[in-house]
Structure 1
Amino acid sequence: MTSTYKTIRGIIHTIHRSSLFVLMMGLFLGSCEEFVDIAPPTNELTGSVVFEEAATVDAAFAHIHSQLREDVFTTGTVSGLSYLMGHYTDELTLYSNVLPEVQEFANGRLTPPNGSVERLWDGAYELIYATNSILEGVQNSTELAQEDVHRFLGEAYFLRAFLHFHLMELFGPVPFIDSTNFDINSKVGRMDLEPLSILILEDLRLAKEFLAQVEAADNYRPNYWTVTAFLARFYLYREEWSNALTEVLEVEKDGPFGLEEDLLQVFKKDSPETLWQLDSGIPGNNTKEGSTFVFSEGPPPNSALNNDFINRFEAGDGRLQAWVGQVVGDSETWYYANKYKLNAPSPSTEECSILFRLSELYLIGAEAYARLGQDAEALAYLNRVRQRALLTPISGLSGTALLDAIYKERAVELFSEQGHRFFDLKRTARADAILGAIKPEWEPFAINLPIPQSDLLLNPNLAPQNEGY
C-alpha cells in the first residue's frame, strides 16, 4: 500500500476498506482475511473492471448487507442501535461491568473517544463509500442489462440515503459523501441539516424512480416498498404530515403486506408485515438480537429491560407475554426483549433481523392524521395496532392526548428495534424531560452524539465538535 493511501484518513476512517475489486476477489476465493485490512488497488476502480456481470454487483451488495447484519449500526449485537440506544434512553438497564463504552450510553454522558460512537460513524461511512463505488461502477457499465441497472441504482441510492439519514439523526450536521474521490473525502466538512435533508430526499426519490421499473423480489434486499416505507418515516421526522401519509397509504393500499395477527409470528422470517429484513448469512443462523437480548439465568450477564419500561404495558397487552421474557430469581425478576426468541442456530433459519415493519407505518399514519386534525382516521390506525396486541380500542381522544397515546403505543410496539425510542424522543423534543429525570448526567446537548475524536483529529474540517463535548 502506498504512502498516499496510508495518509488519507479524513472523514472515512481507513477508507481503503471499501475497495470493491479486492472485496470481490475475497468473496470469490473464500478468504477469511479481514476486509478492513485489505489495501486498495493502485489503479482507480472503474465500472469496466468490476461490473461486467450482474452477479458481481449482487456480490458487492451482499457484502454491504452482511455488514449491515454484522458490524454497522443496524446490527443486533452490542454495537448496534437497538442495544446502544436502548441504554441511552429508558429501555435497558446495564448489569455488566466490563462494557465501559456502553456504560457511557447508560449514564447519558458520552465522550468523543468512545469506541462504540466511533464505530457508528466509521461503519456507516465505509458502507457509503462502498455504495458510491457501486453507483459509479454501474453508471459506467456498458455490459449490464437495463433492468439490472435500474435495480442496482435504486438499491444503491436507497442505501446511501438510509445511511446518511441515520448519521444525521445521531450526530446532527454531518458530511454528505457522494463520490469515491479520496482527496475530496479526506477534507470534507459537515453540512447543515436542511441541505443535508434535501440531498437525502433526492436519493430516495431517485431510488423510488429506479425501483418502480423493476419487479420487487424478496424482502432481503431493499425494493420499491422499502423505499416507500422509508419515505414515510423520513417525512414524519421532517413533520411533512401529508407527504408521510401519502407514502403510508401507498404501501397499505397497493403493497403485498398485511398485519400479522399472531404476536408470536410477527418476528418470524415469513411474517407478512415485514418490508425489509437482513438475511441470516448462513442457513440455520438466526438473529444477532436473539444472542444479545435473551438470557436464561440471573442476574443478567449484560443487560435487561428497565422495570419502569415494563410498567408501560397496559393490563392485558399481549405483547408483554409474547415479546418480553423473564427470569425469576430468589428475590428479583428480570425481563428481556424476546421478540427474537432464538439465540442459537436451528435446522433452518427461522428469524431474521427486521428493519421495516407494517405496524410502524400504521403508527406513522396515526401520527400524521393526528397532526392534520383528522382524529377519527388517526384512531383507526392506532387501534389496528392496539387490537392486534389484544387491547381495547381507544376513542374520543384528540390533540395532545391523542399524540401522547400514539407516542406510548410506539414505545411498546417498537421497543428494542433500531433505536426508535431515541429518535422519537429527539424528534418530538421530549428527551430532556424524560431522560433528564432518570439520568443524572444527562444534558440537553446529549441529543446529538459527539463527533468521534479520532476523525476530528484526522480531518480538522469536521470541526467544531458538537456542543457540550
Structure 2
Amino acid sequence: MFRSFSIVQLRITPLIMAIFLFTSCEDYLDVNPASEVKEVELFEDEQGYKDALYGVYQMVSDKSLYGDNLTMGFVDVLAQQYNTRSSSHMFYNAGLYRYEDNAVESRIYDIWSSMYTAIAQINFILENIDADRNVFSSDQLYSTVKGEALGLRAFLHFDLVRLFGQAPITSSGAATIPYRDEFSVKNEARLSIEEILKKCETDFKEAEALLAPYPEMDKIRNPQGSLGGTDNFLAFRQNRMNLWAVKGLLARLYLYEGDQSQAFLYANEVIDSGYFRFMSQAELNTTGEFNDRTFSYEHVFSLSVYDLRDTSDEYFRFSSSESGSTDTKLLVEENKVKNVYEVSQGYSSDPRYDKLWQFSQSFLVHAKFWQNDELSPLLKNLVPIVRLSEMYYIAAETATNTQAAVGFLNKVRPERFIPELPDTIDAEVLQNEIFKEYRKEFYSEGQLFYYYKRTGAQNIIDSQISPITDAEYVLPIPVREIEFGG
C-alpha cells in the first residue's frame, strides 16, 4: 500500500511547480523555504482520496479556469460576446486576439499552468489508487473516485487542446499539447490533435465503465442530485463528474472530431436517461429564494464556484458606490442583445432574454450569475459545464436527415417560448438555427468560441479582425513553458 511520497533535494522550477505544486482541502506537498519537497504522508485512508478529489474540483472552479476565464470571462471575450472596444477596457487586447500582450499572455499562462496543476493532482490520485484499493470501504467508492478522476483528466485535456491546438477541421497534424497521464516531472512530447482526442476518448471510456455499474448513484432527481446512499461523498452528483457528464462530454468530443454517429449516440443517451428536464414556466417565474437563473434542472454537469458572487458583481453589476466606469465590466449593447434573441421576431418571452438580462445602474447586464442574499444554497455558485440543451443541439447537428434534426431543435424551442421550426427547412438554414441557439443558450458559459473554431468559421460576429484564422483560434503555448521545455 502506498503510504508516503518523498522527493529529496529537488529544486522546483516553474515547470516542475506546474506538475507537483498542488493543494486541496489540505496541503499535500510540503515545500520548504529552500524549495525542497519533503516526505509527507498521503492516502492513508479513503478520506485522503476523497479530499484529494475535492481539491481537484476546487482547483478547476478557480477564477483562472471555470470560475471565470473558461466560462464568463476570457473565452467569451474571444467569441466577441461583449463590448470590449474601448482601449482602456481590461479585455481590449484579448478582444483583438493580441496574445503577445503582457496581460493577455499572463492570463493564458494562468490557464495553462492551472490546468496542468489540476491534472498533476489527478495523476497523483490515479498513480496510487489501485495499490490502495483496500483502503476503500466499498468497490463503489473506489470506482467513483477513479472514474471521476479519469473523466476530469480527459475533460481538462480536451479543453486544453480546444484552446491550444488546431481544430480537426483545419488540422495539419501539427503538435499541440502534451497529454500528461503520469505523475512525473519528465517532459512529455506534444501530440497532434488526433492523438490528444484519442487519449481523451480512452480516459472518458474507462471513466464510463467505472461509473456505469452504479446507476442508482447518478439518478439525479433535483438540481443538486439526491444522496447516493449513506455517504455524503456520493451526494450532489450534478456538481461532480457523474456518469451522464462523462457521456455528455463524449458527445461533445465526438462532435468536435467529426464522428457524427458516436456524437449522436451519446447525446441521445443523456437525453433518454430521463434524469434531466427543462424548467417549467412556474419555475422560471419564481423570484427570491428560488430564482433559478442558471436553469439548474438542465445541468448535466456544473461546478460550484465559491467566489462566484465576487466575479459576477465585478463583471455584470454596478454597485451604488461605483462611479460608472465600464472598463472592468462585460457589457453588451441593448440592440445586440435584442438581435441575438430575435426580439423583433416576437421572441421577447424567451426566458434567456426575459429573465437573464437586467438593468444595473442604467446599464444592461447579463444576470445569469447574479447571487442575491436570499438565494437558496441549493442554487448558489453554480456554473454550468454541460447542459441538456447542448445534447439536443448535438443530436440535431448529427441526425441523419433534416426532418429528424428539426425534431430535436423543436424539443428545445417551445421550452424557450419560441415557435417550432418547419421540418421543410434545408441543411443550411438548419445549421444557422443551431448556431443561433449556441449564441442564445451559452452566453457567459464559454462554448460559443469553440463552436466557431470547430466549424472553421472565418468570421466571428462583431470581431474587428477578419478573416479569423488559426492565428486567432489557436492560443500560443506560454513562453515560460517553452523556455522550461514544456
* TM-score with structure 2 setting the length: 0.80
Q: 1:398 aligns with which of 402, 415, 426?
A: 426
Deviates more, 1:149-158 or 1:53-62: 53-62
Structure 1, unpaired ranges of 5+:
27-34, 463-469
Aligned counterpart for 2:339 among listed residues 311, 317, 325: 311
Letter in 2 for 1:423: Y
Question: Contact 1:160/1:203 (CA < 8 Å) preserved in 2?
Answer: yes
With a CA cutoff of 8 Å and minimum separation of 6, indicate the structure with the bigger relative contact order: 1
1:90 aligns with 2:80: yes
Aligned pairs for 1:99-248 within 5 A: 100=90, 102-111=91-100, 113=102, 114-141=105-132, 142-144=134-136, 145-172=138-165, 173-182=176-185, 184=186, 187-214=187-214, 215-216=217-218, 217=228, 218=236, 219-248=238-267
Query: Is the alpha carbon distance of 1:354 and 1:380 closer, same or farther for their aligned partners in structure 2, counting shifts above 3 Å?
Result: same
- Give the Cα separation in 1 of the matches to 2:270 and 2:192: 31
Total equivalences in the alignment: 428
Alpha-carbon distance in structure 2 between the residues aligned to 1:24 and 1:441: 47
Q: Distance in 2 between matches of 1:84 and 1:202?
A: 29
SS at the partner of 1:4?
coil
* Superposed displacement of residue 457, structure 1: 1.0
Deviation at 1:324, TM superposition (A): 1.4
- Unpaired segments of 5 or more residues in structure 2? 1-6, 166-175, 219-227, 229-235
Tell me if structure 2 keeps the 8 A contact 1:304–1:336: yes
Deviation string, structure 1 residues 266-289 (Cα, Å, up to 9, x no partner): 9558832212222355xxx76565
Q: Which of residues 407, 413, 424 is equivalent to 1:380?
A: 407
Are 1:4 and 2:34 matched, yes or no?
no
Question: In 2 relative to 1, CA 443–280 (structure 1 residues): closer, same or farther, beyond 3 Å?
Answer: closer
For residues 341 and 38 of structure 1, do their structure 2 counterparts lie closer, same or farther at Cα, with a shift above 3 Å needed?
A: farther
Partner of 1:29: none
Per the TM alignment, residue 411 of structure 1 is displaced from its structure 2 partner at its CA by: 1.0
Shift of 1:349: 5.0
Q: For residues 154-211 of structure 1, what are the alpha-carbon distances to aligned partners after superposition, in whole Å with 9 as ceiling and x for unaligned? A: 00100000000000000011000011111x1xx2231111111111100000000001
Q: Does the 8 Å CA contact 1:267/1:340 hold for their aligned counterparts?
A: no
Aligned to 1:30: none
Q: Distance in 2 between matches of 1:398 and 1:133?
A: 50
Residue 324 (structure 1) aligned with residue 324 (structure 2): no
Q: Give the AA of the match of 1:405.
A: E
Residue 228 of structure 1, CA deviation:
0.8
Partner residue of 1:64?
A: 56
Output one character per residue of 1:396-437: Cα deviation in whole Å (capped at 9) or x when no partner.
Answer: 2121111111111111111111x211000000111x322585
Distance 2:450 2:122 in 1: 25
2-side partners of 1:124 and 1:246: how far apart? 29
- Identity rate, percent: 22
Alpha-carbon distance between aligned partners in 1 of 2:10 and 2:477, rounded to the nearest angstrom: 25
| 1:290/1:341 contact within 8 Å kept | yes
CA distance in 1, matches of 2:86, 2:456: 30
Please say if residues 88 and 422 of structure 1, whose CA atoms lie closer than 8 Å, have aligned partners that are also in contact.
Answer: yes
The 3 A distance-change label for structure 1 pair 268 and 89 is closer
Q: CA deviation at 1:143?
A: 2.1
Counterpart Cα distance in 2 of 1:198 and 1:440: 32
> What is the Cα-based RMSD across aligned positions, in Å?
3.1
Mapped to 1, the partners of 2:390 and 2:384 lie a distance apart of 12
